[in-house]
């Protein structure tokens, strides 16, 4: 999911005619998170149709964290087999109070550790800054993305911005959920979410998973988000990463060396901002997928929808970036037929 703070700023610019009276009425109460959360909940619950499909059946959240040794095995596990199979996914820690989108559930990693002919299972939440704040409060403290739909969504987003601006919630260490994917590089296991920096995990000797830290990449990358699908370049051992903000017409590309250090970055200006969930690489190029899936807060009012929409008037574009490019002049752009 894209960066929360920037999206809310944009909603404020485009939606102030609707939400400004509400914000002014509440400014006197701006330090009271409980009140603002309560108002957001009440507004969200006025929607008659609540979308909770991503909580049903096989999509439903796992409620407990366990560590189970000596799992039953049909047949035998070769003694030489030594490793782990892991998966990451969206798993809300608290039941959403209204609608739910699988962009936003907290990351939960499931792992099966195989060693010495035995198997161990463990599942753990990634201890993100967002999750820690919600655990401390005993309930969700950030507005749900799924509830930021239509005119109600504009007001909910404005109230969320009020919480952020008054320090009622902490966004200094990101608001990502680390719920999308996993990558292992330079001896580090990373849980990823495109709206934040990665969280480093580790598996200890008994097969248990632990959150180590929110990973930073130094001043050249700063707080730029780190996409959830970086590309590993097997011949070189490099990891190619991408960072974007859905409200800014630019994208940053980076390369991490085999030791996990950031060795190359380039910022690419774009004609308009878009959501860039993925990228690709070849032996010579990094490939930018600049498609018109865009943030449009006006759609919340005009189309009664979430603010991320496909803008059919804009083209889909593909950019070929030499892996060591130093200038945007080296990029070759191709516009796809509409």
Dmax (CA) of the chain: 68
Residue at 3 is within a domain: no
* Residue range(s) defining the domain that contains residue 224: 217-338
Q: Which residues in 8-47 are b (16+ Cβ under 10 Å) and which e?
A: bebbbebbeebbeebbeebeeebeebeebbebbbebbeeb
Residue 9 inside a domain? The answer is no
**Rounded mean pLDDT, 53-77:** 93
- The CA distances from residue 320 to 14, 175, 285, 302, 305, in Å, are 33, 31, 6, 36, 33
Tens digits of residue pLDDT in 105-115:
999 999 999 99
Assigned domain for 27 exists: no
Judge whether 284 lies within some domain: yes
The closest of 117, 132, 215 to 175, measured between CA atoms, is 132
DSSP secondary structure code for residue 141 in this structure = -
Question: What is the spatial distance between Cα 85 and Cα 296, in angstroms, rounded to a whole number?
Answer: 39
The answer to whether position 257 is within a domain reads: yes
Structurally, the chain folds into a number of domains equal to: 1
Query: Rounded to 5, what percent of the chain is helix, strand, coil?
Result: 25, 30, 45
Does residue 130 sit within a domain?
A: no
The answer to whether residue 16 is domain-embedded is: no
Kindly report which listed range (88-102, 199-213, 238-252, 283-297) carries the lowest average pLDDT score: 88-102
Q: Is residue 18 part of a domain?
A: no
Instruction: Give the residues across from 280 on adjacent strands.
Output: 287
Which of 69-73, 99-103, 121-125, 324-328 is the least confident region? 99-103
pTM higher than 0.75: yes
- C-alpha span between 80 and 116 (Å, rounded): 7
Match 């002014």 to its residue by tokens: 24
């Amino acid at each position: 999911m894209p960066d929360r703070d920037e999206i809310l700023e944009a909603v404020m610019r485009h939606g102030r005619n609707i939400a400004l009276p509400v914000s002014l009425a509440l400014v006197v109460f701006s330090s009271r998170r409980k009140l603002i959360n309560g108002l957001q909940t009440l507004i969200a619950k006025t929607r008659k149709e609540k979308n909770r499909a991503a909580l049903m059946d096989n999509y439903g959240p796992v409620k407990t964290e366990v560590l189970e040794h000596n799992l039953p095995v049909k047949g035998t596990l070769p003694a030489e087999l030594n490793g782990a199979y892991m998966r990451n996914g969206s798993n809300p820690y608290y039941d959403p109070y209204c609608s739910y989108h699988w962009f936003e559930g907290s990351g939960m990693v499931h792992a099966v550790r195989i060693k010495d002919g035995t198997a161990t299972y463990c599942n753990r939440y990634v201890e993100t800054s967002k999750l820690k704040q919600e655990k401390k409060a005993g309930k969700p403290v950030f507005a749900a993305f799924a509830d930021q739909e239509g005119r109600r969504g504009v007001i909910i987003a404005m109230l969320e911005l009020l919480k952020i601006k008054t320090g009622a919630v902490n966004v200094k260490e990101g608001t990502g959920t680390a719920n999308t994917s996993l990558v292992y590089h330079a001896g580090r296991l990373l849980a990823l979410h495109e709206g934040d920096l990665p969280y480093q995990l580790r598996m200890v000797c008994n097969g248990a998973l632990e959150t180590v830290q929110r990973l930073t990449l130094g001043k050249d990358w700063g707080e730029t988000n780190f996409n959830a699908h970086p590309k590993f370049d097997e011949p070189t051992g490099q990891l190619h990463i991408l960072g974007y903000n859905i409200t800014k017409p630019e994208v940053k590309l980076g390369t991490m060396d085999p030791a996990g250090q950031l060795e190359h970055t380039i910022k690419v200006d774009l004609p308009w901002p878009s959501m860039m969930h993925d990228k690709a690489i070849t032996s010579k190029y990094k490939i930018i997928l600049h498609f018109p899936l865009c943030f449009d807060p006006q759609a919340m009012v005009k189309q009664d929808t979430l603010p991320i929409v496909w803008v059919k008037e804009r083209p889909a574009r593909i950019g070929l970036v030499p892996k060591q490019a130093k200038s945007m002049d080296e990029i070759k752009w191709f516009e796809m037929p509409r």
